[in-house]
Amino acid sequence: MSILPILLHPDAHLKKVCAPIASVDAEVKALAANMLATMYDAPGVGLAGPQVGILKRILVMDCSGREEEEPNPTVIINPQIVWSSEEESVYNEGCLSLPELYEDVIRPAEVRVQFLDQTGAEREKHYKGLWATCVQHEIDHLDGVLFIDHLSRMKRSMLTKKMIKYKKDLLKEEDDG
């Protein structure tokens, strides 16, 4: 397994609509394993294909997080949200492509998602709580949408400016070091 480099906003890959995966073959399985390793290493609770430069409809997540809970590595391929609750929830979201930035985002509190798992089997799952927020955030990535796209234009441009500076500082550190 290998840790993949995570692309940072702004990056053209993060604005693309991703293509469905035709078959869950060995290459896709290896990608899923690498994406999970990359997500745990970051660490984060979710990671989508375009964040590692793969413009395909695949995401991984694990929102189990709390001490006594067993890890629950989840691979979701070609997801479709087939139902969303009318009830909404607010969560202070972050993203591995926008490190250190967090903003409140409003989304449906619960969703039902159809997808293929890492074995290629068709699944349908009901998500609520952090899992629901996370799966919607990651599915957004597959359509070139970032959590900041749910905010006002002013907030979005402020956060984008912060990211441009963050990336510039990173480059400078690499040059100096």
Contact positions vs Ni ion (CB under 5 A): 95
Q: Is 138 a catalytic residue?
A: yes
| Beta carbon nearer to Ni ion, 60 or 95 | 95
- The CB-of-98 to Ni ion minimum distance in angstroms stands at 7
Alpha carbon 95 to chain centroid distance? 7
Strand 122-128 with 88-95, pairing = unpaired
Residue from 37, 111, 102, 110 nearest 75 by CA: 37
C-alpha–C-alpha distance, residues 42 and 6, integer Å = 9
Q: Residue 120 corresponds to which amino acid? A: G
DSSP for 140-170 reads HHHTT--GGGGS-HHHHHHHHHHHHHHHHHH
- The CB-of-94 to Ni ion minimum distance in angstroms stands at 8
- The CB-of-119 to Ni ion minimum distance in angstroms stands at 25
- Catalytic pick among 70, 88, 138, 173: 138
| Beta carbon nearer to Ni ion, 100 or 173 | 100
**Residue whose Cβ sits closest to Ni ion:** 95
| Beta carbon nearer to Ni ion, 73 or 144 | 144
Which residues participate in catalysis according to the annotation? 138
